[in-house]
């Protein structure tokens, strides 16, 4: 019976963000069921570009029982209310994709239908003015959301922007203090069971042999166990998401307020991130190597970055896609070893977190792995990847830009049918294909559609019912309420201080 079974020996390969997130979750949630042994090599750097996160990370922080202020100090974190997209739909345009909703539903009809109706005759109607979260972000103010669901202050959420190279060590200390083992060194051989093909052990350069029941592959792009050893097939998505490189370079923080949002600015052959942390700003240019050379990309980044560079540009290579199955035999891939979607919507850490959550739910107690659990794990991973993929493609495809071969390509490429249908459904009458589970829900899709200039041709007819003048008045009142609420909030930087989350100067 359950009380007597032995612990499952879990070997985590890779000491980056995904690896230590996995180890920390297992020692925290399954101390009685899992024995965690993490193998990492100091020679292999961590990618760690994932400096911007999504609100789900808060659940992770809470689940581990971390103190938020301490966690923020340790990782030099700032708060994040959304992403400011510049020049995507057309050069000179911008919008914030906020972690919050738009306006207030009325008579069962979503707010954006009323907005769309008024916008027909009032050209200055701006949907984003009805998002509290957007207005907060634009003014660099921050206050935590309210838990009272009747309050307007409950209509948004927040995430963090942090230094990923500090996050992994922070979780390492956490994990080691709770019983995880760590071995430093290089893996020279992966031993497999000749019959089942299961991975049996990792042989280290030192000669040490590390056995396990379950292997979590957090080895990054190289995908040593799932990809290289088990040969799990790669599903390539680069024809839809052509960016395959990034060049990254931190710079000093400018004086003035710290923005509670990440900025993504479209570039000739991709886009550039700007992530304000407490002690510096992270910058990077994500680009398609078929459309620009590495040198030109690095030059473009250096030219665009304001503030003194704190290091030389560093090159990263990747490709969009994923392994067909993330869990095969006794190997579960978490993070980049399972697949990669570029960081346009800060999904990397989220995807790792999602996989970890499923792994904990479906954990093979007693070391016994069931095919049904693998199938269920892979079903949930599929759901996430496919929906995020479509959402990312939309950012490129919804554009009128024709100023470079890159933008010509993404503007005119054919997109997955599942996305084409979503766009057309929206364009006809402002309907968003609905899912109740999935990362990006209705407000996110609305933000990108409207922000990038895809307006619905029609709207819900019920939005025509209220008298136009009365509707306009009530919408103006909502704008005022939002402006009032934001005016009372502290500046983002001040709030970090007040929360005792600031690093020592």
Partner 1 sequence: MNAKQAIRSVCVAGGGIVGLSAALAFTRALPKAKVTVAALPADPAALADRLPSTLPMVGRFHAAIGLDEMELVRSGAATHRLATRYVNWSAGGETWHHALGGAGADVGGVPFHKAWAKARAAGRAAPYDRHIAAAMLAKADKFVHPDNREDSPLGTYLYALRLDPDLYRARLQQACDAARIERLPTALAGVERRGDGGAAALLLDSGRRIEADLFLDCAGPSAPVRSVLGDDFEDWSAWHPADRFVLGEAAHEGPSPVDVVEARPEGWRWTAPLAARTMSGFAYASSVTGVPGAASLRGAAEPVSIRPGRRRSPWAANVLAIGDAAVAVDPLAGLNLHLAQSAILRALELLPGRDCHPLELAEYHRRTEWETQRARDFIALHYLRSGRTDGPFWAALAGRAVPDMLAVTLEQWERRGRLPFFEEESVDKDGWAAVLLGLGVVPHDVDPVADGIPLGRSAEAIARHAERLAALPARLPAYADYLERMRSAPAQPPRR
Residues catalogued as catalytic: 80
**Per-residue 3-state assignment (H helix, E strand, C coil) for 94-113:** EEEEECECCCCCECCECHHH
Instruction: Report the nearest approach of partner 1 to the CB of residue 243 (Å).
Output: 30
Instruction: Report the nearest approach of partner 1 to the CB of residue 32 (Å).
Output: 5
Q: Which two tokens stand for residue 173?
A: 């200390």
Question: Is 216 in contact with 206 (CB distance < 8 Å)?
Answer: no
Cβ nearer to partner 1, comparing 4 with 484: 4
Measured distance CA(277)–CA(162) in Å, rounded: 6
Instruction: Report the nearest approach of partner 1 to the CB of residue 12 (Å).
Output: 17
Measured distance CA(347)–CA(358) in Å, rounded: 16
Cβ nearer to partner 1, comparing 27 with 171: 27
Cβ nearer to partner 1, comparing 72 with 127: 127
Name every residue whose Cβ is closer than 8 Å to that of residue 233 and which is 6 or more positions away in sequence.
Answer: 323, 324
Cβ nearer to partner 1, comparing 32 with 122: 32
Instruction: Report the nearest approach of partner 1 to the CB of residue 398 (Å).
Output: 17
Q: Please report, for the chain, how many H helices and E strands are present, in that order.
A: 14, 21
Cβ nearer to partner 1, comparing 312 with 371: 371
Residues near partner 1 (CB under 8 A) are: 1-3, 29-34, 108, 117, 120, 360-363, 365, 370, 372, 376, 379-380, 421, 424-425, 428-429, 431, 433-437, 457-462, 464-465
Question: Is 262 in contact with 497 (CB distance < 8 Å)?
Answer: no
Measured distance CA(356)–CA(349) in Å, rounded: 11
Question: Is 417 in contact with 107 (CB distance < 8 Å)?
Answer: no
Measured distance CA(344)–CA(444) in Å, rounded: 13
Measured distance CA(143)–CA(486) in Å, rounded: 9
Instruction: Report the nearest approach of partner 1 to the CB of residue 200 (Å).
Output: 22
Measured distance CA(88)–CA(436) in Å, rounded: 28
């Amino acid at each position: 019976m359950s009380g007597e079974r032995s612990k499952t020996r879990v070997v985590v390969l890779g000491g980056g963000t995904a690896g230590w997130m996995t180890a920390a979750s297992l020692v925290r949630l399954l101390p009685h069921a899992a024995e965690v042994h993490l193998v990492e090599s100091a020679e292999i750097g961590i990618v760690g570009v994932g400096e911007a996160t999504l609100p789900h990370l808060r659940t992770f922080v809470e689940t581990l029982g971390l103190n938020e202020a301490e966690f923020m100090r340790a990782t030099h974190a700032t708060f994040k209310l959304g992403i400011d997209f510049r020049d995507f739909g057309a050069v000179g345009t911008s919008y914030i994709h906020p972690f919050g909703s738009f306006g207030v539903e009325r008579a069962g009809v979503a707010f954006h239908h009323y907005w769309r109706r008024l916008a027909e005759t009032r050209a200055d109607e701006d949907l984003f003015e009805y998002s509290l979260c957007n207005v907060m972000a634009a003014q660099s103010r921050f206050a935590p959301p309210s838990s009272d669901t009747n309050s307007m202050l409950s209509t948004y959420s927040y995430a963090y922007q942090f230094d990923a190279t500090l996050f992994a060590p922070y979780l390492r200390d956490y994990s080691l203090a709770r019983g995880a083992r760590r071995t430093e060194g290089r893996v020279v051989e992966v031993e497999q069971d000749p019959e089942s093909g299961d991975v049996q052990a990792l042989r280290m350069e030192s000669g040490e042999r590390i056995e396990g029941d379950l292997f979590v592959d957090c080895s990054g792009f190289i995908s040593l166990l799932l990809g290289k050893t088990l040969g799990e097939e790669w599903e390539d998505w680069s024809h839809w998401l052509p960016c395959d490189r990034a060049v990254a370079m931190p710079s000093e923080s400018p004086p003035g307020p710290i923005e509670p949002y990440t900025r993504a600015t479209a570039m000739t052959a991709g886009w550039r991130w700007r992530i304000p942390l407490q002690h510096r700003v992270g910058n990077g240019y994500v680009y398609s190597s078929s459309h620009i050379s590495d040198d030109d990309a690095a030059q473009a980044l250096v030219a665009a970055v304001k503030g003194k560079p704190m290091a030389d540009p560093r090159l990263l290579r990747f490709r969009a896609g994923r392994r067909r199955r993330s869990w095969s035999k006794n190997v579960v891939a978490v993070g980049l070893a399972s697949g990669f979607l570029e960081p346009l919507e800060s999904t990397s850490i989220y995807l790792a977190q999602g996989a970890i959550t499923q792994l904990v739910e479906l954990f093979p107690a007693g070391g016994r792995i069931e095919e049904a659990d693998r199938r269920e794990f892979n079903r949930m991973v599929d759901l996430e990847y496919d929906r995020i993929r479509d959402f990312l493609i939309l950012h490129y495809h919804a554009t009128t830009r024709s100023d470079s071969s890159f933008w010509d390509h993404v503007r005119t490429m054919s997109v997955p049918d599942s996305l084409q249908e979503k766009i057309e459904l929206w364009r006809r009458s402002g309907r968003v294909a609905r899912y109740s589970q999935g990362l990006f829900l209705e407000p996110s899709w609305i933000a990108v559609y409207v922000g990038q200039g895809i307006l619905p041709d029609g709207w819900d007819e019920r939005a025509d019912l209220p008298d136009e003048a009365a509707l306009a008045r009530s919408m103006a009142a909502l704008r005022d309420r939002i402006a009032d609420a934001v005016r009372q909030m502290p500046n983002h930087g001040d709030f970090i201080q007040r929360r005792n989350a600031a690093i020592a100067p």
